[in-house]
Structure 1
Amino acid sequence: MSQLFQRNISVEAQHIDQLGHVNNLAYMQWMQEIALAHTEHLGLGLNDYLQMKHAMVASEHHVKYRKACVLGDKLILRTWLGELSGFSSVRHYLFYRPQDDAVVFQGTTLWVCVELATGRAKRLSPTFSQTYQPLNADIDPTDFRIEIV
């Protein structure tokens, strides 16, 4: 079973839009970065994808902006794997601001396995289906008292 994965970040000037809060694109970038870092942590990186000649690519995103973030906010970006099918995997995201105990963002991405040469959907290889296992049901991903190393 896969476990929770997280990174701590600080909101910087490049993340802020004209309204003075974090730009929507920054959240998408953080989703991408934490997903890739988690995948590498699980043992699958870009070189592995190239060698296997297939990779997981984003097919759809669902996001919910719950509270605005501003310059200097400290955030915990958390991700974990969910439902797994023959061709895809769902990844969940939860971004948390400890200073006011607030979940500021939630999202999911449907990742689909594709052949790199053709871009066509491909059944998950055993490497992928073994690596992209859903989060253990006993773990509450919304409990930020859980220490993650």
Structure 2
Amino acid sequence: MTFSQAFTAAPADIDELGHVNNAVWVRWIQDLSVAHWHAVAPDEHRDAFVWVVTRHAIDYRGNLAEGETVTGETWVPEAPRGARFDRHFRFVKQGRVLVEGITTWAMLDRATGRLMRVRPEIAAPFLR
């Protein structure tokens, strides 16, 4: 299941080279992932768990200038192993991939802050 969301580069997103700063791409990766969680996960999961990033692997293949829009896409290709939840992503403009990669997330119990195993019922809505 692929989740998509559009992002438009604002003036504050632009670096001295005239394109979206790498730190903004990382923020968009997180925003895209969180939006997917909120769109798919049931209320009881959103209330009980919170996610943290443990690793980013990002390939930058193109640039985006101020005012341009890109479509972010994210998906989970396979069931998680233990607490590790690998999420793939890409940002596409007019059929061209500008940024792509994999982010590894860990799920925490919201009340205790402890690392939790991603049970099949939590992963299921992302694997359809």
Bin for the TM-score computed over the shorter chain = 0.7 to 0.9
Which of structure 1's runs of 4+ aligned residues deviate more than 6 A?
none
Specify the alignment match of 1:95 in structure 2: 91
RMSD: 2.0
Structure 1 CA distance for aligned equivalents of residues 4 and 102 of structure 2: 15
Aligned-pair distance for 1:43? Answer: 2.6
Shift of 1:30: 0.6
Distance 1:33 1:44 in 2: 18
* Structure whose alpha-carbon radius of gyration is higher: 1
Partner amino acid for 2:22? Answer: N
Q: Indicate the residue corresponding to 1:76 in structure 2.
A: 71
3-state DSSP of counterpart to 1:36: helix
Match 1:33 to one of 31, 40, 44: 31
Secondary structure at the aligned position of 2:52 is classed as strand
What's the TM-score, normalizing by structure 1? 0.74
SS of the aligned residue for 2:116 comes to: coil
Give me the TM-score of the superposition, normalised by structure 2: 0.85
Residue in 2 aligned with 1:24? 22
Other structure's SS at 2:117 match: coil
Match of 1:62 in 2: 57
Higher strand content, 1 or 2: 2
Per-residue CA shift, 1:69-121, capped at 9, x if unaligned? 111222111111123212221111110111xx321000211111223455442
- In structure 2, do the counterparts of structure 1 residues 114 and 9 end up closer, same or farther at CA, with 3 Å as the change threshold? closer
Per-residue deviation at 1:58?
Answer: 1.1
Distance 2:9 2:100 in 1: 17
Residues 26 and 18 from structure 1, CA distance in 2 versus in 1: closer, same or farther, beyond 3 angstroms?
Answer: same
Q: Which runs of 5+ in 2 are unaligned?
A: none
Report 1:1-149 matches (<5 A): 3-44=1-42, 48-50=45-47, 52=48, 54-83=49-78, 84-98=80-94, 101-133=95-127
CA-to-partner distance for each residue in 1:24-57, whole Å, 9 max, x for gaps?
1110111011111111111346x7444x2x3332
SS of the equivalent of 2:115 reads coil
> 1:14 offset after TM fit, Å?
1.3
Q: Is contact 2:73-2:90 (8 Å) kept?
A: yes
What's the CA shift for 1:129? 2.9
How many residue pairs align between the two structures?
Answer: 127
